[in-house]
Amino acid sequence: MRPGTHRPSVPLEHRHVTRRIPQARDRGIPDATVARLPLYLRALNGLSERGTPTVSSEDLAMAAGVNSAKLRKDLSHLGSYGTRGVGYDVQYLIYQISRELGLTQDWAVAIVGVGNLGRALANYGGFASRGFRIAGLLDADPAVVGDRIAGLVVEHTDELESVIAGRAVSIVVIATPATAAQHVCDRVTEAGVTSILNFAPVVLNVPEGVDVRKVDLSIELQILAFHEQRKANGGPIMAEEWPGGVEQVNERSIGASS
Amino acid sequence: MRPGTHRPSVPLEHRHVTRRIPQARDRGIPDATVARLPLYLRALNGLSERGTPTVSSEDLAMAAGVNSAKLRKDLSHLGSYGTRGVGYDVQYLIYQISRELGLTQDWAVAIVGVGNLGRALANYGGFASRGFRIAGLLDADPAVVGDRIAGLVVEHTDELESVIAGRAVSIVVIATPATAAQHVCDRVTEAGVTSILNFAPVVLNVPEGVDVRKVDLSIELQILAFHEQRKANGGPIMAEEWPGGVEQVNERSIGASS
DNA sequence: GTGCCTTTGTGAAGCTACGCACAAAGTGAG
DNA sequence: CTCACTTTGTGCGTAGCTTCACAAAGGCAC
């Protein structure tokens, strides 16, 4: 398209090598890529179940809902696992992605907060299927402690530290009310946990080195509402900037967030 | 405060601004900004409950867990709602963000799939609190239809189209098993819904103009596992490439090529 | 009014991500 | 072997997001 961009075919490896070596197995896999790897893995498992031996980047990208160039670049960060003219071996690629994501080992997960959401999570099949094992269910409510859910007996949160230490829990899912989340978070990080999946609608404060991922239903809905509104009337209404009253939004309209 | 609103018929280009007119109400709010607005809103509501009248970008950014420059730039996309030397009026900013997100109007939401997750969602307080009203619960299982959950009676998915049309549902939450998700998605988009929140672990295919947001527990866990593994041993093991060695491509007992 | 202090709003630089387009590398036919 | 064809891996231009740093703007004291 732009012939001018084509440089004379001079060997390029004579550049100054002050930069760090790119190295196929570089530790620096972009976050955006990491976030897509599970998607590829899921698509590959679908292909595997149907017995497909190999797949092209085009087809796999289609199944995962991404651009094929992006897929190839993502996979190139793991190594050169494809065969030109053929594609990727499905089983082999499943193994490589699984290994990169750390799914070839077993992860003990504890769920704190066994309300509606906690129960749903405990019963969710997707956990066990890929190296994640629920090692404990904990709740602060004595009425819930002792219940049997998904084959586990709910324990009291007093046991939090001993459960984490005793069962080598490395990932904690927080499904408590918003008010309890930070306290639970403090305790589990103090106990050495460095990976947290938070469902409570609060911003968790964590020490350096601790990873928090957040799942927030209410935020997702609000983002949808924004786009929906824009679709409905080419953008927000230019209406008055402050509808009459002084206190039109007051305390109790929100905050019941849990 | 906003001169343009007070002089609706005055051509704006007469202002002595030589640059491109930034136009406070520019339609182009970056996606990254939109995704953070709900976060600010939540932090502001917390401040509001404590009766704080104004807040600086520094404090609000702290509460929302972001950089203060980013916060200011985000807010600047909505308009110039701060006062230099003072900060932002909490109530006023709550109103402006709510309006921009479309939360000043009522959104009817239908939840399809009333399993563990669907129940958890129906009982989740965060929905009703901010302009989102659950207008229908639907499930394909006759054993569930008729149950009363969170004040609503579960209806059969046969009623999907009539519920959507009859109750002006504009956002649908899909909490069905993965196998049913695409079918439900097809039906609701056909019925005119353009905003979907998908909890099923599949990539949904939707027509142009339909917005899908995805919440996927298993993907979040896998991302955590990746980082956890890296923390544990400075990166994935460089170990053997393929543990089984020989048996790479002998899964083709099915031969389902068509 | 003048001067000082605080805090916003934003230009500009740096960084990350995306996707096109194509050379390189492989397969398979003859 | 050569030739034709397929598909990967990646260089590169572009677009968008983040962060810094500072001028502009408002409040307050006097």
Q: Does A168 touch chain B (CB under 8 A)?
A: no
Task: Work out the percent of chain A whose per-residue pLDDT is above 70.
Answer: 80
Q: What is the pLDDT of residue B124?
A: 86
Distance CA A59, CA B99 (A): 42
Q: What is the pLDDT of residue B15?
A: 32
CA distance B76 to chain A (A): 16
Distance CA B193, CA B55 (A): 38
B47-86 residues touching A, CB cutoff 8 A: 48-49, 63-65
A10 confidence band (pLDDT: 50, 70, 90): very low
Question: What's the whole-number mean pLDDT along residues A169-192?
Answer: 98
Distance CA A40, CA A72 (A): 11
Question: What's the whole-number mean pLDDT along residues A215-219?
Answer: 94
Q: Does B32 touch chain A (CB under 8 A)?
A: no
B127 confidence band (pLDDT: 50, 70, 90): confident
Residues in B closer than 8 angstroms to A236, CB to CB, are: 25, 99-100, 102
Query: Buried (b) or exposed (e) across A161-185, using 16+ Cβ within 10 A?
Result: eebbeeeebbbbbbbbebebbbebb
pLDDT in tens, B197-216: 999 999 999 999 999 999 99
Whether residue B18 has pLDDT greater than 60: no
DSSP assignment of B59-124: HHHHHHTS-HHHHHHHHHTT---EETTTEEEHHHHHHHHHHHHTTTS-EEEEEE--SHHHHHHHH-
Question: What's the whole-number mean pLDDT along residues A136-151?
Answer: 97
- Of B127, B132, B61, the C-alpha closest to B93 is B61
Query: In sequence order, which residues have a C-beta less than 8 Å from that of residue B71 and are 6 or more positions away?
Result: B40, B57, B60, B61, B64
Query: CA at B54, C1' at D23: how many angstroms apart?
Result: 24
Distance CA A174, CA A202 (A): 11
Task: Work out the percent of chain B whose per-residue pLDDT is above 90.
Answer: 74
Question: What's the whole-number mean pLDDT along residues B38-51?
Answer: 97
B110 confidence band (pLDDT: 50, 70, 90): very high
- Secondary element (H or E) of residue A35: helix A31-49
pLDDT in tens, A80-115: 999 999 999 999 999 999 999 999 999 999 999 999
- Of B30, B28, B31, B92, the C-alpha closest to B60 is B92
B41, A221 contact by CB (below 8 A): no
Q: What is the pLDDT of residue A241?
A: 53
Strand D contacts in A 37-56 (CB under 7 A): 55-56
Residue of A nearest to B46 (CA): A255
Q: Best interface-test mutation with B: which of A123, A149, A196, A217 has the largest number of B CBs within 10 A?
A: A217
Structural domains in chain A?
A: 23-101 (1.10.10.10), 107-217 (3.40.50.720)
Contact A102 B215 (CB under 8 A): no
Whether residue B166 has pLDDT greater than 50: yes
B125 confidence band (pLDDT: 50, 70, 90): confident
Whether residue B83 has pLDDT greater than 50: yes
Residue of B nearest to A239 (CA): B5
Q: Among all strands, which nt has the closest C1' to B79 (CA)?
A: C9
B94-113 residues touching A, CB cutoff 8 A: 94-96, 98-103, 105, 107, 109
pLDDT in tens, A124-137: 877 777 789 999 99
A111 SS3 class: strand
B232 confidence band (pLDDT: 50, 70, 90): confident
Whether residue A28 has pLDDT greater than 80: yes
Residues in A closer than 8 angstroms to B65, CB to CB, are: 203, 205
Q: What is the pLDDT of residue A124?
A: 87
B69 confidence band (pLDDT: 50, 70, 90): very high
Q: Does B168 touch chain A (CB under 8 A)?
A: no
Q: Specify the higher pLDDT residue, B66 or A253.
A: B66
Distance CA A167, CA A188 (A): 13
B1 confidence band (pLDDT: 50, 70, 90): very low
Of B124, B128, B218, the CB nearest to A130: B218
Q: Does B23 touch chain A (CB under 8 A)?
A: no
Q: Does B150 touch chain A (CB under 8 A)?
A: no
Of B64, B105, B251, the CB nearest to A51: B251
A154 confidence band (pLDDT: 50, 70, 90): very high
Q: Specify the higher pLDDT residue, B245 or A61.
A: A61
Whether residue B193 has pLDDT greater than 60: yes
Query: In sequence order, which residues have a C-beta less than 8 Å from that of residue A14 and are 6 or more positions away?
Result: none
C22 closest protein residue (CA to C1'): A6
What is the largest distance, in Å, between two alpha-carbon atoms of chain B?
78
Q: What is the pLDDT of residue A15?
A: 32
